[in-house]
Structure 1
Amino acid sequence: MDASIGPGAESIRPHVFVYPLAVWVAMATIAVANGVLRETVLVPRVGEYTGHVASTAALVAAILLFSFAYFSWTPIDYTRAELLLIGIVWTAFTVGFEFVVGHVEGTPVSVTLGQYDVLAGQVWIAVPIALLVSPPLFGWYLSP
């Protein structure tokens, strides 16, 4: 069963999202490990801000590598609409996960939102941006 977004729109095939969800789980696992590494190794050695920037850069690199590898390997011929939706889902899951973990840890929403404040020197926004753009970027060029 395919779902169309509107008249003349590309159809969305729900079954093609299984593998991208597995890729997101792998990337989320790496993100958690990255956070542990940041807090236990980087921050004590280089400080909070430098650790934040280095950790974010490493995570963005991992996201781009995983996305590149997946779209190089997959035999699925994704439509542009599906690639856009994969990026949106990866981004929404990640931001949602971050807010849920923050809530469980007792972190105020204002603190979690503050991580997106580019004017305050925060670079975390690069992570959701990488998640949003990597499926369309690599999928359009690398899928069969």
Structure 2
Amino acid sequence: MRRRFLSLAVACWLLQLACAVTLGAGRQFVLAPLIGDMAARAVGTLTLCLAIILLARRFVGRHRPSAAARLGVGILWCALTLAFEFLAGHYLFGAAWEVLWADWNMAQGHLWPLVPAATLLGPLPAPPAPRAAAGRP
């Protein structure tokens, strides 16, 4: 990937991170007291996945990367997401490894695995065809 494109991909991931932090705060301080922790986590996770997919669609539509570059972006975003979740979660925020791994247990209702899946798969669909200019055939 070219350096500028890579920088733009990282910038888009930082927007995803900002969405995650904002949605996490909203989940913790607004939704959880109203609907309970697990329901709030589900709503927050699904909302974040939607935000990631929308950002990925915008990024891919704007920059029109090749299929290989889209795959590379997905792998990059997924790696950054996992690194942040585990490294920042444990070393910066002090979460125990067991707590971090518990979020991966979908059998107990945790939907966290959908987030790295969204970051990996979000950029893969081909960009929509460019719109024809008005008045042109």
TM tier relative to shorter chain: 0.7 to 0.9
Count of aligned pairs: 129
SS in 2 for 1:106: coil
* Cα distance between partner residues in 2 of 1:68 and 1:52: 24
* Cα distance between partner residues in 2 of 1:72 and 1:118: 32
Compute the RMSD of aligned alpha carbons. 1.6
Gapped runs of 5+ residues in structure 1? 1-11
Cα deviation for residue 16 of structure 1 reads 2.1
SS in 2 for 1:27: helix
Tell me if 1:39 matches 2:51.
Answer: no
Which amino acid letter does the alignment assign opposite residue 116 of structure 1? W
Which amino acid letter does the alignment assign opposite residue 110 of structure 2? Q
| TM score, norm. by length of structure 1 | 0.82
| TM score, norm. by length of structure 2 | 0.86
Counterparts of residues 6-85 of structure 1 (less than 5 Å): 12-74=1-63, 77-85=64-72
- Structure 1 residue runs of 4+, over 6 Å off? none
Q: Which residue of 1 aligns with 2:123?
A: 135
Which amino acid letter does the alignment assign opposite residue 65 of structure 2? Y
SS in 1 for 2:54: helix
Percent identity between matched residues is 29
- Please say if residues 103 and 112 of structure 2, whose CA atoms lie closer than 8 Å, have aligned partners that are also in contact: yes
Gapped runs of 5+ residues in structure 2? 131-137
Cα deviation for residue 13 of structure 1 reads 3.5
* Cα distance between partner residues in 1 of 2:128 and 2:70: 12
